[in-house]
Amino acid sequence: MSPRPVILYRRTRYDFDPVLAEATNPQRKSFWGAVAFALSTDIDVIEVNEPLSGDSSLPSVAFVAAARLRAAARRRERPSVTTYAIENLHPAVTVRHLPVKARWRYRLRHLVTPLLWRWIDRIAYGTSAAEALYTSVFGASARQPVRALIPALPTPARAAEGVRDRVILFLGDLSERKGFPDVMSAWPDVRAAVPGARLVIVGRGAGADDALTLAETDERVTVLIDPPRADIAHVLGEAKVLALPSRRRPLWREQVGLPIVEGLANGCLIVTTGETGIAEWLSAHGHWVLSEPSVGEDLSAALVAAVTSIRSVVEVHAALPSVDGRRAAQEWMHGSRATTSA
């Protein structure tokens, strides 16, 4: 029987769920704690954070070097190195928008990123945008990893149903970067154009007060602030349209958009912008992808077209893969070998 995979992590985010994480055998380690783990453990496959996202290149290089050192000392085959990539913001853009001191810190943290890239044996791209970015940044590199494009698409989450009511759902961070103010601005035109249309707002963030104020004056608007997952699943099952018109920011660009993934899994039509890494796939499969600069002018019409569309849940589901994209990428990267993620 293969050894159980291990996930090493340094810190958690607000949405870390220790109960769900338990199945992955997580272990919290410092920089040197991770290096010590690599020096004391036989490892077959190492999955590292993608090189162009965050500042984990140095810890990843140190971990891989320690694991290779142990393999050489024990005359074992060196561990293979894999990564999963969905980043689509060019590092040159990031650097250009940082203050001077932060710019130098960023450059220092990424000094070893080219080395990490040369050590990667396999890379699975979750989006075509990520593949284009990495080709642009590392295309001239002498050593290229084996690569595969496996879109970060879900499988259907539930059985297909009949025609849904005209419900538009905004799900996620109620912020400018996610396009929430644009949805709020577009809603009066949609409301006037589509009798019976409803807007459901689910999430939390800076726009929560504006959402609640709107719901107090408009009986066709429902707001759920930071509800439990069961309530979110219920709303997704009722919505016809999932709206996430993401806006680019100097230091941020939508990679995929979890609400988009959940919307597709539940058979929703998607209205978004070209900022998501799966914009090309969405455009090719009957969803609405707007140019980010023209969201203010075009969002209302796109929402009206989507919420009055005759496309069914069955049609949305028919375009999805039979295996979840992230699971398929994991299987391709690792096969049946034991893994440690660092």
- Can you name the residues that pair with 84 across neighbouring β-strands? 124
**Residue closest to 341 by CA, chosen among 119, 76, 55, 333:** 333
Provide the pLDDT for residue 1: 44
Confidence of residue 162 (pLDDT cuts 50, 70, 90): low
**Residue closest to 131 by CA, chosen among 113, 151, 114:** 151
Confidence of residue 176 (pLDDT cuts 50, 70, 90): very high
C-alpha pair distances (Å), 230 with each of 178, 226, 234, 237: 23, 11, 6, 11
Q: What percent of the chain has pLDDT over 70?
A: 93
Residue 196, phi-psi category: left (phi > 0), alpha (psi -120 to 50), beta (remainder): left
Q: Which amino acid is at 52?
A: L
Convert the pLDDT of each residue in 183-195 to its tens digit: 999 999 999 999 9
Q: Which residue intervals of 218-324 are DSSP H helices? A: 229-238, 258-265, 279-284, 295-307, 313-318
Q: What is the DSSP letter of 97?
A: T
Convert the pLDDT of each residue in 31-83 to its tens digit: 999 999 999 999 999 999 999 988 899 999 999 999 999 999 999 999 999 99
Q: Would you say 50 and 81 are in contact if contact means Cβ atoms under 8 Å apart?
A: no
Give the pairing of strands 241-244 and 146-149: unpaired
Q: Which amino acid is at 44?
A: D
Answer whether residue 339 shows pLDDT above 60: no
Provide the pLDDT for residue 338: 42
Residue 202, phi-psi category: left (phi > 0), alpha (psi -120 to 50), beta (remainder): beta
CA distance 253 to 247: 7
CA distance 70 to 72: 5
Crossing angle of helices 208-217/180-193, nearest 10°? 20
Mean pLDDT value of segment 177-185: 97
CA distance 341 to 32: 16
Tally the residues of the chain. Answer: 342
Convert the pLDDT of each residue in 113-151 to its tens digit: 999 999 999 999 999 999 999 999 998 666 789 999 999
CA distance 170 to 334: 36
Whole-number average pLDDT of the chain: 92
Task: Count CB-CB contacts under 10 A for residue 253.
Answer: 22
Mean pLDDT value of segment 141-166: 85
Residue 335 or 110, more confident: 110
CA distance 318 to 316: 6
User: Which single residue is written with the structure tokens 């005209």?
Assistant: 166
Convert the pLDDT of each residue in 248-271 to its tens digit: 999 999 999 999 999 999 999 999
Q: Which amino acid is at 164?
A: R
User: Which single residue is written with the structure tokens 């979890």?
Assistant: 258
CA distance 299 to 317: 24
Q: Would you say 220 and 191 are in contact if contact means Cβ atoms under 8 Å apart?
A: yes
Confidence of residue 160 (pLDDT cuts 50, 70, 90): low
Provide the pLDDT for residue 342: 57
Q: Which of 53-57, 120-124, 299-303, 320-324 has the lowest mean pLDDT?
A: 53-57
Mean pLDDT value of segment 106-115: 91
Mean pLDDT value of segment 314-331: 95
Provide the pLDDT for residue 15: 63
**Residue closest to 340 by CA, chosen among 53, 44, 18, 50:** 44
The overall pTM is greater than 0.85: yes
Q: DSSP string of 138-166?
A: HTT-SS--EEEE----PPPSS---SPPPS
The beta-strand segments (E) located in the chain are 6-9, 26-28, 45-48, 80-85, 122-125, 146-149, 167-173, 198-204, 221-225, 241-244, 269-273, 288-290, 339-341
* 3-class SS string, 2-44: CCCCEEEECCCCCCCCHHHHHHHCEEECCHHHHHHHHHHCCCC
